[in-house]
Structure 1
Amino acid sequence: MFRSKPISLALPPGSPQRINEPNYKGIHSFILRLMLFYSKQSTSIRAANVIYRRVVSQVENPLVYEVFRLEKAFRTTFSILVVHMWLCLRRLKVEGTEGVELGQYVYEIFNHDLEIRVSKAGVNLLLFKWMRELEKVFYGNIIAYDTAMLLDAKPDELHNAIWKNVFSDDGSPTFDAAALPAVLAFSRYVRRECTCLSLTDKESMFSGNFMFTNIYNPNTPG
């Protein structure tokens, strides 16, 4: 799985899944400009929301858990969220300061969503402490994935990081042999998405008009 040639993830112009900026005219446009609707900050926040919705759409796809044999629990969902956030932030960073600034808006939306998810999981007391711990995990994972993608990284460094951060229940570096095929498949998926995103144009990334690779179960009949 995930051995096919990487392609751009940009949505074509006529795709019903595209989300475009509203093009108001006349008095509506005048009022919105007075309200700073078209300011750089407002435009960036809207784009960041679309980008994050693309992330969540992929992470909440039941097939992600089915294909990679993962239990749908808070920890697993958080780990997969981090992977896809890293993929987006990594791609945006390539565009320099402008991309980093947009990535910061995406991260702030992620943090807000994460706080809601933590509360829904039943954590109401010591919420701030939980968020601080998850922030440490987030940045720890990001560093591990960035390191694994360096040119001089060891061949097994990425799937070791994925095993530890996504598949292992306790962060143990020791592999579960039964999980190895799923870990390797997830590693191929991550590498392929990195390349696909690198082929995705700036406009599509900055507007959120891209979709992660469609995941399907090859064992499903038909």
Structure 2
Amino acid sequence: MLWPFNHFRKPRTPLRGTIEAIYGMIVTQAREPLFYRDFGVPDTVNGRFDLLLVHLWLVLRRLKSVEEGVALSQGLFDYFCNDMDDNLREMGVGDLTVPKRMQAFGEAFYGRTAAYDLALTEGREALAQAMCKNILNGENIEKARLLAAYAEAAMEALDGLDETTLVSGSVSFPSPEKAGAQQ
């Protein structure tokens, strides 16, 4: 028998498990205490959000070169949006305010990823400047250089993964500690 409320459940797509695994990896890495302790990322809602965006950008950037990348990228972005919506509601943000906040999140995502993409064409110092502005509130360029070195190491690690490993969701980021030491 079909229950009349089945249409309220989120559909299970073949990529859903992969999307959940990749997003979980992104969130886990963005919560790494080293970023907040040694890299100068503010341990605030905004600092955590910005670090989450960096890791999402890194993965989405890599997925552009994969056959299933478009579907995975869209699914990952949708999952991120749903997560942000859920977090806002858990924090007690009212129903009328959530859409405005979600629009601000979208603008932040697109603005930051555009800045990081542009900076990549100009080199590590430009990436450090963009990260300093967006993540470190324009303060501490030395710490931003650590973040840029880490981002480059993460890009290299993600670029080194074969397509099968990437789309399986069993990927991981490099240690921020090792990337900072390589700077």
* 2:80 counterpart letter in structure 1: F
Q: From 114, 118, 130, give the equivalent of 2:88.
A: 118
Residue of structure 1 in register with 2:50 after alignment:
79
Residue of structure 1 in register with 2:130 after alignment:
161
Residue of structure 2 in register with 1:19 after alignment:
none
Structure 2: unaligned runs, 5 residues or longer: 1-11, 179-183
Residue of structure 1 in register with 2:6 after alignment:
none
Matched, 1:49 2:54: no
Q: Distance in 2 between matches of 1:155 and 1:45?
A: 34
* 2:157 counterpart letter in structure 1: C
* 2:58 counterpart letter in structure 1: L
Q: From 160, 171, 181, give the equivalent of 1:210.
A: 171
Partner-residue secondary structure (3-state), 1:72: coil
Give the TM-score normalised by structure 1: 0.70
Q: How many residues align?
A: 167
Residue of structure 2 in register with 1:135 after alignment:
106
Normalized per residue, the structure richer in helix is: 2
Q: Distance in 2 between matches of 1:167 and 1:122?
A: 27
Who wins on radius of gyration, i.e. which is larger? 1
Q: Distance in 1 between matches of 2:71 and 2:100?
A: 26
Displacement of 1:100: 1.4
Residue of structure 1 in register with 2:74 after alignment:
104
What percent identity do the matched residue pairs reach?
Answer: 29
Going from structure 1 to structure 2, the CA distance change for 1:154 and 1:210 (only over 3 Å counts) comes to: closer
Q: Distance in 2 between matches of 1:121 and 1:73?
A: 14
Going from structure 1 to structure 2, the CA distance change for 1:106 and 1:161 (only over 3 Å counts) comes to: same
Structure 1: unaligned runs, 5 residues or longer: 1-40, 169-174, 218-222
- Stretches of 4+ moved more than 3 A in 1? none
CA contact (8 A) 1:74 1:121 kept: no
Give the TM-score normalised by structure 2: 0.84
